[in-house]
Structure 1
Amino acid sequence: MNQTVKPKIVSFFKKLIIIAFLLFIFTFIEIYWAMGSLSERISSGNPDSHFFDDAYLVSVFTTVFLTIVFLLFTFIKNKYLKITIELISLISVWFFWNYSIFVDRESSWSTYLFKEELLYTLSLSFLPIWVLSIVTVFTLHYILKKL
């Protein structure tokens, strides 16, 4: 193999692993921070599953999806546009998962309206999502810049 190709492949896999690892860790923390108050509630989809199982599975799905998306964002040269799109993507995905967990563990057992579900999920998720999304994006940029 050509000597110039090896460093590029190694660099690509380093980026891939770092992005995936950080997204998994921060997603798992965000879910527990935002939705941890629902951890003792029974899941309506699978009554035998524990909250840890749901958080782990959601973190894996999010990691796979967002790692691919964030790797595509590396082609964006405008730094501010790139950070904005990454934040919007991360916030959207995390809010979607928090909403799904809320519906599964709380509102499916009660009579919430759709608007109430959104507002209650937002009230639980606002601070964790904002803090961790900013920390995640800037940590990724800091680490990837050092490579």
Structure 2
Amino acid sequence: MKQIFQNKIIRVLKKTLFMALLFFAGTFIEIYWSMGEFSERMSSGCIDCSFIEDVYFISLLTSVFLTIVFLLLSLLKKIYLKNTIELLLLSSIWGFWNYTVFVERESSWSTYTFKEEFFCTFSLSILPVLTLSIATIFSINYISRISKT
């Protein structure tokens, strides 16, 4: 009985660590892919911070938050509802971070309106966000199915 319990804990910890690493890597790649053209520009929020530092910090925060939320969402039994919520949540969070990077590194130094900021961010983000969020959700669900067997 004790061995079964220990094996279950180890499986949950492995799954949690894998999810956190996947979220970290996915967030890092997604932000760099969509907002990489602003990497040489100075941040208005932290003049001494490099683009890599910002992306690293954002990825770290996102991986912790999303791992907790996705573990809670794994309790949902309806798979299509769960996948839809996960996809919308992941896409909106990545879109928000892209908007934040765009504002800090581009629009705060210029005269963009909110509408222009939104459309610029959306046009730069749509392909990376959709591609990587679908791949991330698929990978997490695949690993979840494997860990249950």
Give the TM-score band, short-chain normalised: over 0.9
Identity of aligned residues (%): 55
Match of 1:83 in 2: 83
Q: Distance in 2 between matches of 1:46 and 1:15?
A: 35
SS of residue in 2 equivalent to 1:3: helix
Q: Distance in 2 between matches of 1:66 and 1:13?
A: 15
Q: Deviations over 1:40-93 (max 9, x none)?
A: 110011111110001100000000100000000110111111110000010010
TM-score (norm 2): 0.95
Match of 1:95 in 2: 95
Task: Provide structure 2 residue ranges, at least 5 long, that are not aligned to the other structure.
Answer: none
Q: Using the TM superposition, give the Cα deviation of residue 2 of structure 1 relative to its aligned residue in structure 2, in angstroms.
A: 2.7
Q: Using the TM superposition, give the Cα deviation of residue 5 of structure 1 relative to its aligned residue in structure 2, in angstroms.
A: 1.9
1:28 is aligned to 2:25? no
Match of 1:72 in 2: 72
Q: Distance in 2 between matches of 1:7 and 1:85?
A: 30
SS of residue in 1 equivalent to 2:27: helix
Q: How does 1:35-74 map to 2 (within 5 A)?
A: 35-74=35-74
Match of 1:127 in 2: 127
1:108 is aligned to 2:108? yes
Task: Provide structure 1 residue ranges, at least 5 long, that are not aligned to the other structure.
Answer: none
Q: Using the TM superposition, give the Cα deviation of residue 145 of structure 1 relative to its aligned residue in structure 2, in angstroms.
A: 1.3
Q: Distance in 1 between matches of 2:32 and 2:127?
A: 13
